[in-house]
Structure 1
């Protein structure tokens, strides 16, 4: 059977769903509905929007990740800067802040250091946001905090150095005074040589050690001098006492005790330097008359006295002789 072909070119257009008629002819010569193109365009638009949304999401997630990384890096910079600052603050700065004004050459340096120590540090917040704008703001704030720590670490170092240098200058001045005043006053001169060497080196630790040695040497010499002086005084006192005792012994040897003795018709005095001698004689009867006399010499220079004879007339004394005449009677 032969194929039957239908000619539809003369047929009217096919009505569209909205009641309109399509006059579009396809590649095959057939007409397309007018609603097909808008529908395809809408589908394409949906696809484009969906693709755009997906692309934006990918891009947004990427930007968020970049912001988080930047904030984390800023946080690390703050942490490092803060640790460096706090190490200096809690270490050497805190130690030098306790130095007394009398220990430094310029007291103002301590006041400046204390002011630097008391400065308020920034409040750390970190990267806790979950949106890119907030993370960017946090990173910017952290960068400023890192700059603050860097700046104040530098100013704190300057203040610390000023106190340290002022303290060293005062130490050197004090050491120079000690070196000058100790000349000839130490038991060991080598201690002063060590101190002079430490001063030239500007070594504060060595100066302190050498200064203690010089001070100890001064004390040792002072004690030795005091002991020698006390010994000399004791020896001088002992010598004086010995001399006084010797003089007293010599004086006692030049004196001996004695009294009066009766010899024959008179009395003789012995035992005293210069002595005394005298004699008496008597003659006559029983009347008791007597003749005689006596002289005394010695004792008192340039004088003499006549001594009366005994009232017994030279014949001894009986029981009726007086006892208050100052003579020794037999």
Structure 2
């Protein structure tokens, strides 16, 4: 630079020649060329530095952008994991189509829950282009997590709301039926309970159940039903107790009546025995044989001496009638007991 200044000073002074002449001019020209080369080198270095600096800046920016994308992805993943690991999601995926009012909600949740999460992408790559490519993939994954988290959250709420709606409807229906049964029991148990306070308690529970039946609080509805169950059980127990007491009273009454009747019968029997004189056992049955028939013997025929003519046979006397005693007739004789009695006159019956 000193040589350039000297040259400029010579030119300003107007003195074109020096003591050295041409030699000095040559040195001056070489100095100018050297200066130009130096300037060119410096300029080239500046350009390279500028380019290198710009590339470094772009790489750093790409790295920063990828890191920021990774941070957003991390947040989205955390939200997604918090949802699927939460109690509400775990409960919803266990709900069946029979437990909800709209079974489509269960099917939708099951379908969306089956989608697979995207593959992991990181920023540990070299070069601006690679970083920008991965950053774009990371942003895409972030979008998936954010969208899918919202979708699953809506699915879960749909299932739970449908389940709660059916639960409420079922509870209201069950309470309505229980109220009907409780009213029938209340009416039928009139004058049939041992303790009427049980019916009063049932009436109080009926009023409370009527107020809770159309509400939206499932727990209150269930509590009202439980209150009715308890009150109905007490009334039924009181009805059974009175029935048992009435049965025992009836049995006791019947027993006393039977004892009284037996006592009255025993007393009447005793009085009858005191006023009745039994007859003497002096009667001996006798047997009177039928009277024997009187037998009248036939008159004795007069004997007339026979003429010398042939004797006339006398008529045979009539046989005596058979007596009623059943005994045989008394045999009679002809007065001839031995020998030939053909010539002996018949003298009739000779009793022995």
TM-score, length of structure 2 as denominator length: 0.59
Q: CA RMSD in A?
A: 3.5
Paired residues of 2:175 and 2:213 also in contact (CA < 8 A): no
Shift of 1:170: 1.5
Q: CA offsets, 1:168-205, max 9 Å, x none?
A: 22222222222222222585344455555555442334
The change in CA–CA distance for 1:88 and 1:245 in structure 2 (over 3 A counts) is farther
Q: Which runs of 5+ in 2 are unaligned?
A: 1-16, 187-200, 287-352
Q: Tell me the SS of whatever aligns to 2:136.
A: helix
Q: 1:45 to 1:251 in 2, by over 3 A?
A: farther
Q: Which residue of 2 aligns with 1:271?
A: 273
Q: 1:200 to 1:271 in 2, by over 3 A?
A: closer
**Residue 106 (structure 1) aligns with:** 102
Distance apart, 1:94 and its partner CA: 0.8
Residue 252 (structure 1) aligns with: 266
| C-alpha distance 206-52 of structure 1, shift in aligned 2 (>3 A) | farther
| 2:84 paired residue number | 89
Correspondence for 1:78: 73
| Number of the residue aligned with 2:54 | 59
- Determine if contact 1:175/1:195 at 8 Å carries over to the other structure: no
User: Residues 72 and 198 (structure 1 numbering): CA distance in 2 closer, same or farther, change over 3 Å?
Assistant: farther
Q: How do 1:149-168 and structure 2 match up within 5 A?
A: 149-168=145-164
Q: Tell me whether 168-177 or 194-203 shows the greater mean CA deviation.
A: 194-203
Q: For the residues of structure 1 that align with 2:35 and 2:42, how far apart are their CA atoms? A: 10
* Structure in which a larger fraction of residues adopt helix: 2
Based on CA coordinates, which of the two structures has the bigger radius of gyration? 2
Q: What's 1:266 paired with?
A: none
Q: Could you state the TM-score of these two structures normalised by the residue count of structure 1? A: 0.62
Deviation at residue 61 of structure 1 after TM alignment: 2.3
Cα distance 1:231–1:6, how it changes in 2: closer, same or farther (>3 A)?
closer
Of the structure 1 ranges 182-191 and 161-170, higher mean CA displacement relative to structure 2 is found in 182-191
Assess, with a 3 A threshold, how the Cα gap between structure 1 residues 131 and 242 changes in structure 2: closer, same or farther: farther
Match of residue 171, structure 2, among 152, 168, 175: 175
Secondary structure, counterpart of 1:77 in structure 2: helix
SS of residue paired to 1:103: coil
Taking structure 1 as reference, are residues 35 and 102 closer, same or farther at Cα in structure 2, changes over 3 Å only?
A: same
Q: How many residues align?
A: 251
* SS of equivalent residue, structure 2 residue 270: coil
